[in-house]
Amino acid sequence: MNNSKYLIISISIFILVSFSFLALWEKNQRQIKDGWFLYFNDIDSTSPNFTIENYSLNEDFSWELFLDDTPIKNETIQVLKENKKNVIIDQPLEGHSIKIIVSHSKKNKEIYKNFD
């Protein structure tokens, strides 16, 4: 009886230590070191509103909106580290496609929607 009690206690401690280690390891894996993300707020609609999430040290972004490959609006914005900014474009858009190009440091990312 005494040996089984020690066995249960040692297995319990082993499982507790293992889960704690895995939880800490997973938390470290989830942390984004340096990067940024760009996406539309509503992918199904014709809305050009989009979001920039910043996990880099550089906080300055510039973006340009194209309607059927014609530039119609551009702007510079600041997104603080570990924050996101929703960009609302409140002018009516009629066309076959929209494309948004965002520049950050020396990298560009683009997203687009086709309405055909």
Q: Cα separation of 65 and 93, whole Å? A: 11
C-alpha torsion 76→78→82→85, nearest 10: -70
Please say whether the structural domain 36-114 has been given the CATH code 3.40.720.
no
Q: What is the pTM of this model?
A: 0.71
Which band of pLDDT confidence, cut at 50, 70 and 90, is reported for residue 1?
low
Contact in structure between 35 and 53 (CB atoms under 8 Å)? no
pLDDT by residue (tens digit) across 57-113? Answer: 899 999 999 988 899 999 999 999 989 999 998 877 777 889 999 999 889 999 999
Half-sphere exposure of 79 (CA within 13 A, CB side): 25
